[in-house]
Amino acid sequence: NAGVTQTPKFQVLKTGQSMTLQCAQDMNHNSMYWYRQDPGMGLRLIYYSASEGTTDKGEVPNGYNVSRLNKREFSLRLESAAPSQTSVYFCASRQGGTDTQYFGPGTRLTVL
């Protein structure tokens, strides 16, 4: 039981490049989330998926897109990376009935 896994762990991009962050969970959770964490800003929600087949914007969706590929997988795409997207990105899934969030190990992204 791996919980929530994310790839890659580290990534360096140049401005304008694109990339996809992958996330998968094996806990059979319906809801999944993408957050970014910046110093002094706490966690900010980018997008979430309440259930398979649905996605919704969070607090800071601009510059990102998501795909809920199936119940297990929820990917985050940066179409044209900008230095302001330098951050640590966490994927999480939510245990229904308890609202407890389970987080992945994070992806540290640097955009030059």
Partner 1 sequence: AQSVSQHNHHVILSEAASLELGCNYSYGGTVNLFWYVQYPGQHLQLLLKYFSGDPLVKGIKGFEAEFIKSKFSFNLRKPSVQWSDTAEYFCAVNYEGSYIPTFGRGTSLIVHP
The answer to whether 45 touches 35, Cβ cutoff 8 Å, is: yes
Q: For residue 23, which of 74, 59, 66, 79 has the smallest C-alpha distance?
A: 74
With CB under 8 A as the contact rule, the residue among 34, 48, 64, 74 that binds partner 1 is: 48
Closer Cβ to partner 1, 59 or 79, answer by number: 59
| Closest distance of CB 14 from partner 1, Å | 25
Does 53 bind partner 1 (CB under 8 A)? Our answer is no
Q: Which residues of 5-17 are buried (b: 16+ CB within 10 A; e: fewer)?
A: ebeeeebebeeee
| Closest distance of CB 57 from partner 1, Å | 11
With CB under 8 A as the contact rule, the residue among 43, 66, 70, 74 that binds partner 1 is: 43
* Cα–Cα distances in angstroms (integers) from residue 47 to residues 2, 14, 42, 92, in the given order: 23, 23, 16, 11
Q: Rule CB under 8 A: which residues touch partner 1? A: 31, 40-43, 45, 48, 50, 58, 90, 92, 94, 98-106
